[in-house]
Amino acid sequence: MFTYLLVFFAAAVPGIEILVAVPLGIVRGLSPIVAIIVGFLGNASTIILEILIFQRLKTWWDSRKTKDVNMPSKRTARAESIWQRYGVPGLSLLGPILIGSHLAAFLALALGSSKQQTAMWLFISLAIWSIIYGVLTVLGVDAFFWTRKQFE
């Protein structure tokens, strides 16, 4: 039971998300299918919550902006670039690996996407990436192989 909760809550945390949670569940002994489903549900639960309270988040975000126009952060600039090129599908599909699904959801909504379209594309993306991370973990692919190469 602890591992289920660990995977669920790890997937719900921005920055950790399914990238870490699904492999963690598999390594801790969950079946790959269960780890994928629990990780997906954990990440999706916070995305749903974010979409539902978006207007409050947007009001807060706007109030934090200064009248001074500053350069956007690297993550925000990257997300806006993806948005301009590929729209909601591109931001949703690339967001989880480039900027995180939570920031992708917020930016998609902030840039004018509907709640339904954002939710649909992000859930599709989370399902795809959960399966990919699960399969790669089962196959033993080391996503961080390059760190080991630096120390050899």
> What is the reported pTM?
0.76
User: H/E/C letters for each residue in the chain?
Assistant: CHHHHHHHHHHHCCCCHHHHHHHHHHHCCCCHHHHHHHHHHHHHHHHHHHHHCHHHHHHHHHHHCCCCCCCCCHHHHHHHHHHHHHHHHHHHHHHHHHCCHHHHHHHHHHCCCCHHHHHHHHHHHHHHHHHHHHHHHHHCCCCCHHHHHHCC
Average pLDDT over residues 125-140: 92
Structural tokens at position 93: 């599909």
Structural domain including 66 reads 2-150
pLDDT at 95: 86
pLDDT at 149: 57
Answer whether residue 66 shows pLDDT above 70.
Answer: no
Tally of domains in the chain: 1
Answer whether residue 53 shows pLDDT above 60.
Answer: yes
Identity of residue 78: R
Answer whether residue 56 shows pLDDT above 70.
Answer: yes
